[in-house]
Amino acid sequence: MIETSDRKWIACFVAAWLGVELICCPQAVLGQKSLPPLDSLVVGRPPRHAPPPLRPPSKVTFDQLGRRQLARWGFLDVTAAPFRADPTGQRDSTAAIQAAIDFARLHQLVCFFPSGEYRVSDTLVC
């Protein structure tokens, strides 16, 4: 059975996870260990502003993809147009692969890397 104090913590956790502001009594804000009674917690509105996106959305469209049939199956070829990552390792492919990852994430695709060696000079963020 969940104790009342546990319910308070669960309510705060769920509200934080959902991005909802909670207005509590001053004792909880001042760092005291006990939380206010559950009925004194007021669920507020969503946060005042959303966090900025990591990167702007991709400007590439499906019509620009070099291998559209592969994209229809759910795969995005990072070596095809318009990304053109170099599978030979001669050129740095970091920007091309990151652009492909951004597009794939936006359109719920899987990045497909044909066999080869890809030169990556920075961290890729998925």
DSSP 62: G
Whether residue 75 sits in one domain with residue 38: no
Specify the DSSP class assigned to residue 36. Answer: P
Residues 26 and 74 grouped into a single domain? no
Closest CA to 104 of 58, 68, 56: 58
pLDDT confidence bin for 115, thresholds 50/70/90: very high
103 or 44, which is more confident: 103
Residue 45 and residue 31 in contact, taking contact as beta carbons nearer than 8 Å: no
Could you tell me if 113 and 64 lie in one domain?
Answer: yes
Q: Are residues 11 and 62 in the same domain?
A: no
pLDDT given at position 14: 53
Domain count, the chain: 2
Q: What is the pLDDT of residue 120?
A: 96
Q: Which domain holds residue 102?
A: 52-126
Per the model's pLDDT, the better-predicted residue between 118 and 12 turns out to be 118
72, 104: one domain: yes
